[in-house]
A and B are shown apart, each in its own frame.
Chain A
Amino acid sequence: MTKLRLGPFFKQAGKDPLVHFLVLGGLLFAVFSLNGAAVPNRNKDIHLSLEAQQHLADLFEITWQRTPTKDELSSLIAEQIKEEVYYREALALGLDENDTIVRRRLRQKLEFMHEDLSNNADPSEAELLGFFNENKDRYKTDQVFSFEQVLISSKIVNASSDEVVNALRALASGTKTGEISRSTLLPVSMKLETDRSISNVFGSDFLAEMVKTEVGKWSGPVYSSFGSHLVKKMLDEPSHPRSFADVRADVSIDFVRNRRETAVARYYQDLRCQYRVSVGKQRWLQFDPSFSWQSCGIVFLAFRHRPTSCAQPICQCLRLPKISMISCGKPQHWEKSNSR
């Protein structure tokens, strides 16, 4: 381990203009601080840079398709200064507070800003593949069925009735469905249809029973609000996963959307975790099960707010017997106060 030598450091620092600047600045600050009111009020300084002036001129040009004259530019600048003065005075008067529009606008700006920031890079193949693997269910094919059906009665007839037994026997021996079916607008067969579309045509009761029937064989009765059916399920294809290559385009869209939503949600969550929130009349004393009680010394009773989603729990000490709050802020603060 080399010994720390400060001599050369000061020697070097003595030549550095930055250090001169800092030292002088510090002296000036000290003087003005002692002098109180003499500190220049930075809030009363307005400087319109050349770039800012150019920006005004550019905006003018977009609207009018020509550069502003000297007079026009002067009045643009005057207008801009006026706006700035009013803006600062309004802020000083607190006019931005409790104005729903201002609040909402600021919130939007923050959200949009964060969305834009989070949204730039193209996802890599690895990211997409990872997202696909985590969300395979989302990219599965639909479960589909094919079946034939015969409406044998508009009533509910039971399995042992002659109608059912005879119809099943006839179908088994090759009789065509059209010769047995009652006249109906219902389709004789549905092919490769999802549960949703079968339910739309025959109703959910029919669907629930039909899916249970054996493949390749006439069976029933299956009941719907139209009456009693016999059904022959031809195909019962469970939903199955699709390959990444097949759904890559969808994955890419979902990934980007998900990344944006997650980023905004996480951003908010991070901010939210820094706040203590209570709703209703009992400020601060309204605890939910996510609070856990801990001791913080003899005169302190502390509770710790741990929303599961917060990486950094907020902790607070409740001083007894006066019941006053001390916000412990971040965990290291809490750790300190606790160790004392």
Chain B
Amino acid sequence: MKQILWVSACLLALGGCTDAEAPAPETVSANPEPTIQQIAEGPHYSAATSNTHPTRVYWGDTHLHTNLSQDAFTFGVTLGADEAYKFAKGEPVVATHGEIAQLQRPLDFLVVSDHAEGLGAMKALLDGNEKLLKVERLQQWREGFLKGTAEARNAVAQDGRDNGWPLELESGEIKSDAWAHLRGASERHNDPGKFTAFIGFEWTSWPGGSNLHRVVIFKDGADKTGKVLPFSQNESDKPQDLWKYLQNYEAKTGGQVLAIPHNGNISNGLMFPLLQEDGQPLGATYVETRSRWEPIMEVTQIKGDGETHSFLSPNDEFANYETWDFGNFKGVPKTNDMLEFEYARSALKNGLKLEADFGTNPYKLGMIGSTDSHTALPTADEDNFYGKHSAGMEPQKNRWKDPVGKGGEQSILGFMMAASGSAAVWAKQNTRESIWDAMKRKEVYATTGPRMTVRLFGGWDFQEADASNPDLAEIGYAGGVPMGGDLSANLAEQAPTFLIAAAKDPMGANLDRVQMVKGWRGADGQTHEQVYDVKWAGERAIGAAGKLPAIGSTVDVAEATYANSIGAAELATVWQDPEFDAAQQAFYYVRVLEIPTPRWTIYDAKYFETQMAPMVKLQHQERAYTSPIWYTPSAE
């Protein structure tokens, strides 16, 4: 019956999707209708639509779970993909806890990325699927759901984590129903030019509890994606097999797809390795395949920020932002030697080493942020944060001290959640094609929630005056490459120049400073990093220790407010690398810091009139990380 409902929903969506079990014949593009993308190529009467370069940054979330995800459902979420898309478009929806939730500003795009593992199965279990009810453990789980308490639901989640998910949950029938539903919802809500709804899923590999998760995003619509089912870790927990699946998808359908790794911080050293698990070199095949399918990484989200750890970057006073370094999902504790293979900056550095060894850099990764929220509500705003999941983590008085999750015996308390992050994409149009292409070419950046506009161009001849030119972007594209690009030709043997500009979130806080983060591989084969303050607000000077003094804070903790009386609305500059060595591989990315603002915990404390323990962080400096620009010495 449910299948009938979903299929009819698909039919309604312009006949956009087909049953996953009965693939429609390949549709040949006999349709003479041009796509929005083709129309957009111009030329056009309206100058804005004739731009050869992206002029607009689009905001979205590439990582969201709804009631078709096993864990989200277990946590109690009642909302599905339709509600998620509605919410992202700015409509009010009733959250699982009964609050009416609405975004202050709608998103431009959203990927509903439910877990492939047992997709839709928990919902089917509660709905009384007979096959599932034959499994005793699942009967117990169902009883847990029926009790309905957060404890009972957490117990089910814990059992799943500790003892694995029963394979009966991997029923192809249930999964293809759910996949048809997700694709249908995406087709219904995709509105080219206004709102982009991507089709995607999450491959949730976690050998021994160590997170190797990837979000998979299709460029295509329901017809092509209907020819496959989401790839589950129960089929294989090896990334190589996921990449094969992606390869097969493209070969079979002519479509396009990419994968985004996330939460290296819970991988216990497995996410960005230098060696295979058996100690052997990764090898050319691994590095080439990985770089083929994984152009960007999700660097910040609710389960922690993964830019860098203070153990890895001891001289970076802004390292350790919203850090989660407890261990993996099964409570295997973290050791310092794991960190190098978990965080974005060190992965970018190790990528240079691998490139030297194998000729390809598997960690040439652009950066985005997303929420990984399991509430069907993509919220990354500090003052409108709906939490990690619906088992007590949506707004309520005690969520700061209730456990958001457990790793083995260790409880992680709610206040550790980061109200993060956002995916910013420089694209020409708000369409699947245009935004997906931007991700593929890495012209994207991450923020921890706020919508700062950030431009970064690398070239050989930018001049200081370019930073104050109103046509900054045109100059940038004409004289260099944007974020995510490559610099190689260096005929003049001079250091590269970078044209950098950042504007505050139009509805948010002023900016403290703009920093350039450089990583390079020295002549000895070792990698290094350096953070440069390149532009800042106010009359501050870099001190003796090479540090710019802190900007101060206007945060009023009791009132949960701040003032833009410090900081700058915009910061722009041209920066040239003072320690450039043309023989050394390097990468450069920009980090933009806001002035201190209230963390979500302050807003909660005020709204619920509650006192939090002293260890709870109450204010912070939110930030943006751009995709890097890489410099590669010429071959000779």
A contact set with B: CB distance below 8 Å: 100-102, 104-105, 108-109, 112-113, 115-116, 119, 154, 177-178, 181, 183-193, 196, 199-204, 206, 224-227, 249, 253, 256-257
B128 near A203 with CB under 8 A, answer no
Q: Known: A101-B142, A105-B128. Contact between A226 and B468, CB under 8 A?
A: no
Q: Ordered nearest first, which 4 A-B pairs have the shortest CB separation?
A: A183-B468, A203-B506, A101-B128, A185-B503
Residue interface mask B592-605, A partner, CB < 8 A = 1: 00000000000000
Q: By the criterion CB–CB under 8 Å, are A185 and B455 in contact?
A: yes
Chain B residues 106-141 with CB under 8 Å of chain A are 106, 126-128, 133
Mark B453-472 against chain A: 1 for CB-CB distance below 8 A, else 0: 10100000000000111111
> Which residues of chain A are near B507, meaning CB under 8 Å?
203-204, 225
A residues within 8 A CB of B105? 199-200
- Do A192 and B506 form a contact, CB below 8 Å, given A101-B142, A183-B469? no
Tell me which of B8-16, B63-71, B340-348, B351-359 binds A.
Answer: B8-16
Task: Report how many residues on chain B are interfacial, defined by Cβ distance under 8 Å.
Answer: 46
Find chain A residues with CB under 8 A from B59 CB: 200
Digitize B482-518: 1 where CB-to-A-CB distance is under 8 Å, 0 elsewhere.
0000000000000000000111101110000000000
Residues of B within 8 A of A100 (CB): 146
CB distance from B178 to the nearest CB of A (A): 16
Question: Closest B-chain residue to A103, C-beta based?
Answer: B128
Given the contacts A109-B1, A203-B507, A225 and B564 also touching, CB distance less than 8 Å:
yes
With contacts A185-B503, A226-B503, A227-B569 taken as known, whether A177 is within 8 angstroms of B128 at the C-beta atoms is no
- Chain A's closest residue to B453 (CB) is A185
Cβ–Cβ contact B506 & A183, under 8 A: no
Q: Which residues of A contact B504 (CB under 8 A)?
A: 225-226
B127 touches A181 (CB 8 A): no
Q: Does B47 contact A (CB under 8 A)?
A: yes
Mask of B18-51 contacts with A, CB within 8 angstroms, 1/0: 0000000000000000000000000000111100
Provide the residues of chain B in CB contact with A256, threshold 8 Å: 12
CB < 8 Å neighbour of A112 from B1, B142, B470: B1
- The residue on A at minimum CB distance from B89 is A196
On whether the beta carbons of A192 and B46 are closer than 8 Å, the reply is yes
Could you say which residues of chain B place their CB within 8 Å of the CB of A119?
8
Contacts of A253 in B (CB 8 A): 12-14
- Residues of chain A lying within 8 A (CB to CB) of residue B570: 154, 183-185, 226
- The minimal Cβ–Cβ distance linking B372 to chain A, given in whole angstroms, is 23
Is B5 among interface residues, defined by CB-CB distance under 8 A?
Answer: yes
| Chain A min CB distance to B398 (Å) | 26
Query: For residue B46, which residues in chain A have a CB less than 8 angstroms away from its CB?
Result: 191-192
User: How far apart sit A224 and B506, CA to CA, in the bound complex (Å)?
Assistant: 8
List A contacts of B216 (CB < 8 A).
none
Which B residue sits closest to A155, measured CB to CB?
B569
Residues of B within 8 A of A257 (CB): 12
Q: Which B residues touch A201, using CB under 8 A? A: 56, 506
Given the complex of chains A and B, what is the CA–CA distance between A112 and B1 in angstroms? 7
Are the CB atoms of B472 and A185 closer together than 8 Å? yes
CB distance from A254 to the nearest CB of B (A): 9
Residues of B within 8 A of A112 (CB): 1-2, 4-5
Q: Are B569 and A225 in contact (CB under 8 A)?
A: yes
Q: Shortest CB–CB separation between residue A116 and chain B, in angstroms?
A: 6
If the complex has contacts A177-B470, A183-B472, A185-B572, are A191 and B48 also in contact, measured as CB distance less than 8 A?
Answer: yes
Contact of B470 among A178, A199, A200 (CB under 8 A): A178
Beyond the given A100-B146, A108-B2, A119-B8, please list 15 additional residue pairs across the A-B interface where CB-CB is below 8 A. A101-B127, A101-B128, A101-B146, A104-B128, A177-B470, A183-B470, A183-B472, A185-B455, A185-B472, A185-B570, A191-B46, A193-B48, A199-B105, A225-B569, A226-B503
> By the criterion CB–CB under 8 Å, are B470 and A196 in contact?
no
Q: Is the CB of B503 within 8 A of A190?
A: no
Q: B133 — nearest CB in chain A belongs to which residue? A: A101
Question: What is the distance, in angstroms, from B86's C-beta to the closest C-beta of chain A?
Answer: 13
Query: CA separation between A285 and B439, bound complex, in Å?
Result: 62
Tell me the minimal C-beta distance from B468 to chain A in angstroms: 4
For residue A203, which residues in chain B have a CB less than 8 angstroms away from its CB? 506-507
- Interface pairs (13), CB distance under 8 Å: A100-B146, A101-B128, A101-B133, A104-B126, A105-B128, A108-B1, A178-B471, A181-B470, A184-B570, A185-B570, A185-B572, A188-B470, A225-B564
- A184 nearest CB neighbor, chain B only: B570
Interface centre among B507, B508, B568 (most CB of A within 10 A): B507
Contact A116 B4 (CB under 8 A): yes
Q: Which of chain A's residues have a CB closer than 8 A to the CB of B315?
A: none
Closest CB in chain A relative to B264 CB, distance in Å: 31
Once the chains are docked, how many angstroms separate the CA of A191 from the CA of B46? 7
> Known interface pairs A192-B48, A225-B569. Does A115 touch B5 (Cβ–Cβ under 8 Å)?
yes
Residue of chain B at shortest CB distance from A187: B55
Asked whether A190 lies within 8 Å of B506 as measured between CB atoms, the reply is no
**Residues in B whose Cβ lies below 8 Å from that of A181:** 470
Chain A nearest CB, measured from B153 CB (Å): 15
Find the residue from A113, A192, A196 having the highest chain B CB count within 10 A. Answer: A196
Q: Restricting to B553-590, which residues have a CB under 8 Å from any CB of A?
A: 564, 568-570, 572
Question: Closest Cβ of chain B: how far from A191's Cβ, in Å?
Answer: 4
Q: Determine the distance from Cα of A185 to Cα of B502 in the docked complex, in whole angstroms.
A: 7
B631, chain A: closest CB distance, angstroms: 25
Instruction: Chain B residues near A116: list those with CB within 8 A.
Output: 4
Which B residues lie within 8 Å of A105 (CB)?
127-128
Residues of A near B2 (CB, < 8 A) are 108, 112
CA distance A203 to B105 in the complex (A): 10
A-contacting residues, B427-475, CB 8 Å: 451, 453, 455, 467-473
